[in-house]
């Protein structure tokens, strides 16, 4: 960013601060907050709004979606995800999954996330026979390029299809969000059953993320990027239920070695975002610490109105975690000659974990309410001010 641009932005920041003190209503109308015309999201199940369900229609069944949508809505939760709350807070509609071609419009952005997605390419254990998505981050980038190319092509030809794709200028002004990496850690562990191997893989995983980020930056012309770190995987029932009772646990009851791996990944990712910020000084790149917010739900659940943080709401088996990897949410099993459908608990709004892997809508809302302020961001800027390279 040139000196004149920096001075101009600092003037805007100073004017906004002064104006908000004396006339916050007027200030809100004068671009003191970012005005994002669209969102483009890259990620996994934590932000998948229907991508996997579009490719594999049997991926979800009731009671998924029961709290907000009243039916499965492509989300691995009982309701909305963090990305849904982000869109709503910016006055934008829920993001349409890129893979769903049934009547979707992408004027306000698109979601390339699919459940099971990784940063690095996996050669084994891929859906439908495995558990990881074929749409890893490279593939999501390719889909983004395709969408941008289609938009430009439609505009040049004056076709009506341009009405369902983003405008060229909106690609530059859009918010770009990322929530991916957790499955890479899980994939390495499942393949090697070694946490040391997971740790060894982290630099390469993050390097692949940084390469994709650069490609997206160069192709999109975008300036605002919001990057989530990964959550406390050692607190998830899917992990805890598979581990021996001798595994070391922290004060909250989470598997300490697994959370340490997540924290290491996050530290490398944070350094990478700092390097990217230095490499692209005109871009506003925000690193968002969702790990700390999610961990607080397990460490102090009652403080925030939650109960039984380690007990799966929509699960089977009872016990400490109410989770069985062979009989998951929405599935069926037979016990004593009786068919049992795996349904949800009575009050999902009081629970943290929905299906043993993913969070409830109530937990997602909790996380959003705390990260939107900028209190868990580096630099410490709120979502509505994330387009500024200086904080206000």
Q: What is the mean pLDDT of residues 193-213?
A: 96
Nearest Cα neighbor of 359 from 46, 25, 34, 2 is 46
pLDDT at residue 24, rounded to an integer: 37
User: How confident is the prediction for the chain on average, in pLDDT?
Assistant: 90
Per-residue pLDDT band for 31 (boundaries 50, 70, 90) equals low
Task: Specify the long-range contacts of residues 271-275, CB closer than 8 Å, at least 24 apart.
Answer: 272/206, 272/207, 272/209, 272/210, 273/227, 273/378, 275/210
pLDDT at residue 332, rounded to an integer: 93
Q: What percent of the chain has pLDDT over 90?
A: 78
Q: What is the mean pLDDT of residues 162-167?
A: 76
Per-residue pLDDT band for 23 (boundaries 50, 70, 90) equals very low
- The H-or-E segment that residue 335 falls in is strand 332-335
Spatial CB neighbours of 185, under 8 Å, sequence gap ≥ 6:
198, 201, 202, 205, 230, 233, 261, 262, 265
Which residues are identified as catalytic? 45, 355, 358
Per-residue pLDDT band for 312 (boundaries 50, 70, 90) equals very high
- Report how far residue 356's alpha carbon sits from residue 239's, in angstroms, rounded to the nearest whole number: 9
Q: What are phi and psi of 231, to 5 degrees?
A: -85, 180
Judged against a pLDDT cut of 90, whether residue 258 lies above it is answered with: yes
Q: Quickly name the fold that domain 35-311+360-383 has.
A: Rossmann fold (3.40.50)
| Structure confidence by residue, pLDDT tens digits, 39-94 | 999 999 999 999 999 988 877 999 999 999 999 999 999 999 999 999 999 999 99
Per-residue pLDDT band for 160 (boundaries 50, 70, 90) equals low
3-class SS of residue 224: strand
- 15-24, 46-55, 290-299, 315-324: which has the minimum mean pLDDT? 15-24
Per-residue pLDDT band for 392 (boundaries 50, 70, 90) equals very low
Q: Quote the Cα angle for 245-359-236, to 5°.
A: 15
- Report how far residue 44's alpha carbon sits from residue 183's, in angstroms, rounded to the nearest whole number: 8
Residue spans per domain, the chain: 35-311+360-383
| Structure confidence by residue, pLDDT tens digits, 357-372 | 999 999 999 999 999 9
Nearest Cα neighbor of 87 from 52, 54, 111 is 111
Cis peptide before 229, with omega less than 30 degrees from 0? Answer: no
Longest alpha-carbon distance in the chain: 76
pLDDT at residue 163, rounded to an integer: 65
What's the sign of the alpha-carbon dihedral 275, 123, 109, 85? negative
Task: Look at 389 and 361; give whichever has higher pLDDT.
Answer: 361
DSSP character at residue 384:
G
Q: What is the mean pLDDT of residues 300-323?
A: 97
- Report how far residue 163's alpha carbon sits from residue 153's, in angstroms, rounded to the nearest whole number: 12
Cβ burial of 113 (10 Å; 0-12, 13-18, 19+) is buried
Q: Name the pTM for this structure.
A: 0.91
Q: What is the mean pLDDT of residues 166-185?
A: 96
- Report how far residue 44's alpha carbon sits from residue 27's, in angstroms, rounded to the nearest whole number: 36
| Structure confidence by residue, pLDDT tens digits, 100-124 | 977 678 999 999 999 999 999 987 8
């Amino acid at each position: 960013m040139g000196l004149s641009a920096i001075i101009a932005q600092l003037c805007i920041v100073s004017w906004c601060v002064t104006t908000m003190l004396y006339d916050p209503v007027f200030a809100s109308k004068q671009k003191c907050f970012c005005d994002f015309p669209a969102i483009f999201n890259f990620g996994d199940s934590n932000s998948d709004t229907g991508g996997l369900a579009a490719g594999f229609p049997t991926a979800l069944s009731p009671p998924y979606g029961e709290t907000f949508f009243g039916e499965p809505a492509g989300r691995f939760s009982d309701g909305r995800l963090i990305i849904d709350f982000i869109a709503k807070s910016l006055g934008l509609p829920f993001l349409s999954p890129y893979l769903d071609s049934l009547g979707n419009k992408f004027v306000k952005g698109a979601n390339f996330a699919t459940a099971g997605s990784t940063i690095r390419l996996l050669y084994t254990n891929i859906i439908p026979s495995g558990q990881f998505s074929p749409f890893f981050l490279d593939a999501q980038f390719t889909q983004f390029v395709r969408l941008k190319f289609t938009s430009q092509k439609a505009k040049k030809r004056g076709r009506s299809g341009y009405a369902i794709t983003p405008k060229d200028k909106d690609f530059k002004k859009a918010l770009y969000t990322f929530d991916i990496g957790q499955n890479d850690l899980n994939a390495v562990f499942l393949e090697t059953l070694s946490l040391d191997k997971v740790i060894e893989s982290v630099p390469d995983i993050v390097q692949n993320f940084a390469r994709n980020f650069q490609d997206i930056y160069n192709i999109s012309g975008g300036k605002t990027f919001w990057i989530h770190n990964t959550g406390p995987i050692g607190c998830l029932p899917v992990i805890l239920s598979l581990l021996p009772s001798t595994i070391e646990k922290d004060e909250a009851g989470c598997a300490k070695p697994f959370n340490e791996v997540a924290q290491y990944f996050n530290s490398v990712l944070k350094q990478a975002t700092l390097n990217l910020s230095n490499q692209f000084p005109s871009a506003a790149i925000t690193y968002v610490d969702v790990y700390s917010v999610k961990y607080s739900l397990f460490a102090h659940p009652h403080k925030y109105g939650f109960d039984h943080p380690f007990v799966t709401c929509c699960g089977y088996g009872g016990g400490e975690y109410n989770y069985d990897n062979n009989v998951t949410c929405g599935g069926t099993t037979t016990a004593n000659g009786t068919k049992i459908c795996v349904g949800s608990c009575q009050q999902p709004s009081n629970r943290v974990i929905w299906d043993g892997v993913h969070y409830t809508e109530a937990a997602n809302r909790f996380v959003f309410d705390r990260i939107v302020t900028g209190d868990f961001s580096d630099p410490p800027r709120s979502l509505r001010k994330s387009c500024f390279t200086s904080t206000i």
